């Protein structure tokens, strides 16, 4: 697999080496030892989640308070997604910046999202399914939600119609409001909160 750092410190794109034959394709989607060796990231899965969405569904921007914190590896396992990560770590050289990836089931590509970086996606196909492999189990009351349509973030969702969005996400605070409320983590020089 190939691991490359994205524009947000500590965030990586993982592209598997696919082995096709007449039956189909095989590839390793995630190897913690390879991620640790190539990127210096220690990632131990604790929970696996799936989200299935209709075309034009917008989910995010989501993160988790630190503690407990939560790193994740996200992969499109059916259909196609416009995946966006946003640096929510106060003091990061890329605070408020984003990175966009198109994730498809065919590509097998994944994004490693470190603690303190927000994540969201737009479903580009019907019945799109994303898998989240996360480093901590769900802890009620620790979620950080930032409005994915925050005009200051100006994220390039490029949705051809009004996206389907939950009330929770539509009513989530802007990044500026989250900063004022003290919800966002501090950035450390090591690139993680």
Q: How far apart are CA 184 and CA 117, in angstroms?
A: 10
Does any domain span residue 186? no
- Show pLDDT as tens, one digit a residue, over the chain (193 residues): 999 999 999 999 999 999 999 999 999 999 999 999 999 999 999 999 999 999 999 999 999 999 999 999 999 999 999 999 999 999 999 999 999 999 999 999 999 999 999 999 999 999 999 999 999 999 999 999 999 999 999 999 999 999 999 999 999 999 999 999 999 999 986 544 5
Token pair 């349509």: residue: 149
Q: How far apart are CA 179 and CA 32, in angstroms?
A: 32
Annotated catalytic residue, options 98, 112, 119, 132: 132
Does any domain span residue 185? no
* 4: Cβ contacts below 8 Å, ≥ 6 apart: 12, 13, 15
Does any domain span residue 54? yes
Does any domain span residue 193? no
Both tokens of residue 168? 């929770």
Number of domains in the chain: 1
Q: How far apart are CA 66 and CA 63, in angstroms?
A: 9
User: What is the predicted pLDDT for the residue at 50?
Assistant: 98
Q: Has 50 been annotated as catalytic?
A: no
Residues in the chain: 193
Does any domain span residue 90? yes
Complete edge-to-edge strand list for the sheet that includes strand 117-123: 98-104, 80-87, 117-123, 58-64, 143-145
CATH of residue 22: 2.60.120.10
Does any domain span residue 192? no
Does any domain span residue 187? no
Instruction: Say if residue 61 is preceded by a cis peptide, omega within 30 of 0.
Output: yes
User: What is the predicted pLDDT for the residue at 54?
Assistant: 98
User: What is the predicted pLDDT for the residue at 191?
Assistant: 43
Q: Has 132 been annotated as catalytic?
A: yes
Give the single-character DSSP code of 172: S
Annotated catalytic residue, options 2, 50, 62, 99: 62
- Provide the residue range defining the domain that includes 40: 2-180
User: What is the predicted pLDDT for the residue at 189?
Assistant: 62
């Amino acid at each position: 697999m190939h691991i490359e750092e994205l524009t947000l410190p500590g965030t990586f794109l993982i592209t598997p080496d696919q082995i096709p034959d007449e039956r189909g394709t095989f590839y390793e989607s995630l190897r913690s030892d390879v991620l640790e060796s190539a990127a210096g990231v220690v990632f131990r899965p604790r929970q696996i989640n799936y989200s299935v969405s209709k075309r034009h569904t917008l989910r995010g921007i989501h993160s988790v308070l630190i503690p407990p914190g939560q790193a994740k590896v996200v992969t499109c396992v059916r259909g196609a997604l416009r995946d966006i990560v946003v640096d929510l770590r106060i003091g990061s050289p890329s605070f408020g910046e984003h990175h966009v990836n198109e994730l498809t089931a065919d590509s097998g590509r994944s994004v490693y999202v470190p603690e303190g970086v927000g994540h969201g996606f737009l479903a580009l196909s019907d019945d799109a399914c994303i898998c989240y492999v996360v480093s901590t189990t769900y802890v009620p009351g620790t979620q950080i939600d930032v409005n994915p349509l925050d005009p200051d973030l100006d994220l390039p969702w490029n949705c051809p119609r009004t996206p389907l969005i939950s009330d929770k996400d539509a009513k989530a605070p802007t990044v500026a409001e989250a900063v004022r409320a003290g919800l966002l983590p501090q950035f450390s020089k090591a690139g993680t909160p």
